[in-house]
Structure 1
C-alpha cells in the first residue's frame, strides 16, 4: 500500500506585494513539520511540488530538517497540476477594489471585524467562481481546476504506486481532492478550505486504482513542537 502525504504550504505573505512567499512564521511551520518527520524516521521516494514559490520553499525548509539517509533516493518533481487556483483573480472578479491594496484595506477597515469581513468576501467570491454563471471572466473555471487536481492525483496511481510520496501544495487543491474522495458538495469545499491549517498534512492511502483517506488536516506537529500562535489558517 502506498501513502501520499498532502502538505498545505506554510503561512504565506498575505497583504504584501508578493503573496507567493512564505512569511517568517511560514518557514518556522515548515521546519516544525520537518522535525516531526525526522523524529518519525519517515522517508519519501518522491517529493512533488505544485510549482509555486511557497510550495518549494515549504518543501526545501521542511525536508532540510531530515537526515540525508531519509531522502537519499528521493525523486523531486514539479507538477503544475498541484498548483493553487488564482485566488487573486477570484477575489478581483467579485471585489474590484482588490486591485488596489489601499482601497481594499479601506474597504475592510469599514467593518467592525475585518478578518471576518475578509472571510465573507472570499466565500462570496468563491461562490461566484464556482457557480458557472461567469465562466468567461476567469482564466481557469472551477470545473477545469477540479479536473486538473483529480488528474494530478490519478497520475500518482501510475507513477508512484505503492510508494511513500509527499506533495507540497495548497488548501484549495487539498479541499478539492477531498471532495473527489468523499463526495462533498461544492459549498463543502469552501468550508473545508477555510479550515485547513498552514503546514497541516492530509494522508491518502493508495491501492491500485483506489485512493482512501487516512487522515485529514493533521497539525499535531505544530501543537506539540510549536510556540503559541504556531497554528494559522491564512
Structure 2
C-alpha cells in the first residue's frame, strides 16, 4: 500500500497584517519536519492548496530535508475554509481588524479568547442554519476537499504523496475515512497541531487512516515548537 502524508501548515502569522504567511516559529516547524522526513519518506509527488502558508511550509520542509523534493502541485481544493468570513458572520464587528485587536486585548489571554470565539463561529457555520450567509457552506467545503483528495490519489497512481494543507481539510478527510459525525469532525479540527502529520494508506479503492495528528518530531526537537494556532 502507498502512503499519503497530510501535513498541516506551520504556524501562520496570527494578528499580523498578512496572516497567510509563516511566523518564524512556523518556518522552524517546517524545517524540523523536513529533517524528520529525511531518510524515511521519499514522496513521488507533493500537493498543496494555493495559500501562501502551504507553499512556505513545503519550502521550509525542503530546507530541512536537505535533498531534492518534487515541486508542489497546486490543488485549490486543499485550501482551508474562509475563516475570516466565518468569524465575521459570528462577530460582525470583527470584520474590522482594529476592533477585533482592541477587543482581544481586553482578555488576559487574547489567543485563547480568539480560539473560543473561533470554535463558536465554526459551529455556527457548520450548523446548516445560516448557509445563506456564506459563500461556501460546510457541506460544500467537505465536498470540495474530498474531490481534491480523490483527484490527488488518481494522479499519484500508487505512489507516496505529501500534501501541505490545513486543519479543516485534514479533519474532513479523517471524518470521511472514520465515518464520524460533524461534531466529532469539528472536534478533531481543534486539536490538529502545526506541521503535524496524518497518514492515509491507500491501494485501489481502499483508504485507511493509519496515523492522525502526529507531532512527535516537534516534541523531540523542542516542545516549545508545538502550536495549534
TM over 0.5: yes
Query: 1:174-211, CA deviations, whole angstroms, 9 ceiling, x for partnerless residues?
Result: 01111111111212122111100000000000111121
Alignment TM-score, normalising by the size of structure 1: 0.92
1: distance between equivalents of 2:136 and 2:55?
23
Name the stretch that deviates more: 7-16 or 93-102. 93-102
8 Å CA contact 1:161–1:208 kept in 2: the answer is no
Q: How many residues align?
A: 229
What is the alpha-carbon root mean square deviation over aligned residues? 1.5
Q: Does 1:154 align with 2:150?
A: yes
1:113 Cα offset (Å): 4.4
Instruction: Determine the structure 2 residue equivalent to 1:138.
Output: 134
8 Å CA contact 2:30–2:64 kept in 1: the answer is no
- Structure-to-structure mapping, 1:24-103, within 5 angstroms: 24-38=24-38, 40-68=39-67, 71=69, 74=70, 76-103=72-99
Query: 1:72-91, CA deviations, whole angstroms, 9 ceiling, x for partnerless residues?
Result: xx353110000110000000
Name the stretch that deviates more: 104-113 or 162-171. 104-113
The SS at the match of 1:42 is: coil
1: distance between equivalents of 2:40 and 2:120?
43
2: distance between equivalents of 1:19 and 1:151?
26
1:129 Cα offset (Å): 0.7
1:155 Cα offset (Å): 1.5
- Structure-to-structure mapping, 1:1-234, within 5 angstroms: 1-38=1-38, 40-68=39-67, 71=69, 74=70, 76-226=72-222, 228-234=223-229
The SS at the match of 1:215 is: strand
The SS at the match of 1:59 is: helix
8 Å CA contact 2:196–2:213 kept in 1: the answer is yes
8 Å CA contact 1:161–1:207 kept in 2: the answer is no
